[in-house]
Structure 1
């Protein structure tokens, strides 16, 4: 029976003795899953594979699987990335997914590594320490804007620490040590700078999520809020609120980018005083 396929997972069937009924399952596990599905859903219940796909179609390596997970997170957010959903998208069984990733944390770490490896990262050795820090901070900011889910994975006290993540940190540490910091202070400087970038990126990620959920456009919300503040007299003694008078725009991204650059310049002025 070599060359036949398992009716449950579409994997290859082992060779049989050539007598009796042909084998239909590659393992007792697949046989048991098929039995449970028929028991729970009826004999006509389809297999778990998406219609028209085979196990492993387009997924020949762990990198292929991770690439599908990154596309899923980019399109639908991190909550959409589960082993079951990923298996469906890849045309695999969940058991097949677990042959490439140990668990969801392992999958998320692999996603981060792939994104960092595939994106153009700035040269961390060219230019003055100030120029290098600016380039690195802007590159991290751009990563969060292209892949908003990345923020939820990295902005934690226990982020994945793979080679690409370490390389990202290395550039900032090197720039700060070249500026005269010792290693403990350089690490503190990195955390300060990255914390600022992540905090500003959170504004972008939150606005994007709200728009996707159908929330009121940002400019409409702010115009209404500002009008209420004016009616209640709360802008009279707050010049900073008057300076924030709404400017018609349906997209707050340019203003967020302006705020980001304003804060970045002053933060680096503090880290690298003249």
Structure 2
């Protein structure tokens, strides 16, 4: 007897009750991705291929699961990460996954720990000047979001994970603001302002692999704005049309970062 599989990720589907239409997707996330692809690129019968995951087979099972989950998220966003899909790609029964990770919230926290604990290549230690330290720390956080766009959803919340690596990331920024002259409460507020800027800019990083390319979206949007008269008396729209999100985003980030640090460091709270 053939096993029914999700037409999007090819994960095995639960047995049908025999009533109603046959189930085609394993989750609402897979159904939404299939819809977006049909909307943007037309109908297709070929399922989206699963990423080639290469977790070390000899590693601790929990660490291997976390590594596989990071690869899944890097490839398909957080919608591609579920306990069932993780079990499928790890070639483990679902109940075995739950022995190592209690639930998805614990999994996401462990993924954030894995990513934030990775040392920066070539890091020679923090610069002695507080501003230079803050610039580097902001750049490090920005680079993490660039490499792992899904991480923003995990960290940018009022209930973020609080593992040792995530807390250490906050410690480094607070310590730099303290060295610049802030008292502890002011240093934490300054950290929130800086991290909030980095995370806000990170919203511009494309997270969904099936989204329309930026230049295609902008071309259609510009035509619509000109057609409806909304482009009149807005010269900044013409300037925006001369930029490319994929190449200019880092420039925008550093422009705003410099201006923000100028303001935060001019009169530290003591």
User: So what's the TM-score if we normalise by structure 2?
Assistant: 0.72
Q: Which residue of 1 aligns with 2:210?
A: 213
**Counterpart pick for 1:241 among 237, 240, 247:** 237
Whole-angstrom CA distance in 2 between matches of 1:224 and 1:181: 47
More deviation in 133-142 or 74-83? 74-83
Q: Give yes or no for the alignment of 1:254 onto 2:211.
A: no
Q: Distance in 1 between matches of 2:64 and 2:176?
A: 35
3-state DSSP of counterpart to 2:89:
helix
Equivalent residue for 2:261, pick from 243, 248, 268: 268
Q: For structure 2, which runs of at least 5 residues remain unmatched after alignment?
A: 1-13, 19-55
Q: Is contact 2:112–2:151 with CA below 8 Å preserved after alignment?
A: yes
Q: Which residue of 2 aligns with 1:45?
A: none
| Aligned 8 A contact 1:222 1:246 in 2 | no
Residues 121-130 or 58-67, more deviating = 121-130
What corresponds to 1:224 in structure 2?
Answer: 220
Q: Which runs of 5+ in 1 are unaligned?
A: 1-36, 42-55
Contact 1:116 1:164 in 2 (8 A): yes
Structure 1 residue 231: deviation in Å?
4.6
Q: CA–CA distance in 1 between the matches of 2:183 and 2:176?
A: 11
SS in structure 1 at match of 2:205: helix
In 1, distance between residues paired with 2:165 and 2:204?
25
Give the corresponding residue for 2:160: 159
Number of residue pairs aligned between Structure 1 and Structure 2 = 216
In the aligned structure 1, how far is the partner of 2:198 from the partner of 2:249? 12
* Contact 1:113–1:163 under 8 Å retained in 2: yes
Residue 92 of structure 1 deviates from its aligned partner by 1.2
What is the Cα deviation at residue 127 of structure 1?
A: 2.5
Q: 1:193 to 1:39 in 2, by over 3 A?
A: closer
Answer yes or no: is the 8 Å Cα contact 1:226–1:246 preserved in 2.
Answer: no
Structure of higher RCO (CA pairs closer than 8 Å, 6+ residues apart): 2
CA contact (8 A) 2:57 2:64 kept: no
**Deviation for aligned residue 1:98:** 1.4
CA distance in 1, matches of 2:179, 2:157: 27
Residue 39 of structure 1: CA displacement? 11
Distance 1:64 1:240, change over 3 A: same
What does 1:1-274 align with in structure 2 at a 5 Å threshold? 58=58, 60-120=60-120, 125-205=126-206, 208-209=207-208, 212-215=209-212, 217-247=213-243, 252-273=245-266
> Equivalents in 2 of 1:162, 1:129: separation in Å?
25
- Could you list the runs of 4 or more consecutive aligned residues of structure 1 that deviate by over 2 angstroms after TM superposition? 37-41, 56-61, 121-127, 223-247
Report the Cα distance in structure 1 between the residues aligned to 2:65 and 2:254, rounded to whole angstroms. 36
Scaled by the length of structure 1, what TM-score is found?
0.71
**Measured at CA, do residues 82 and 39 of structure 1 come closer, stay the same or move farther in structure 2, by a change above 3 Å?**
closer
For the Cα contact (< 8 Å) 1:72–1:81, is it kept in 2? yes
Give RMSD over aligned pairs.
2.6
Instruction: Tell me how far 1:69 sits from its aligned partner.
Output: 1.1
Output the CA distance in 1 between the equivalents of 2:110 and 2:154: 11
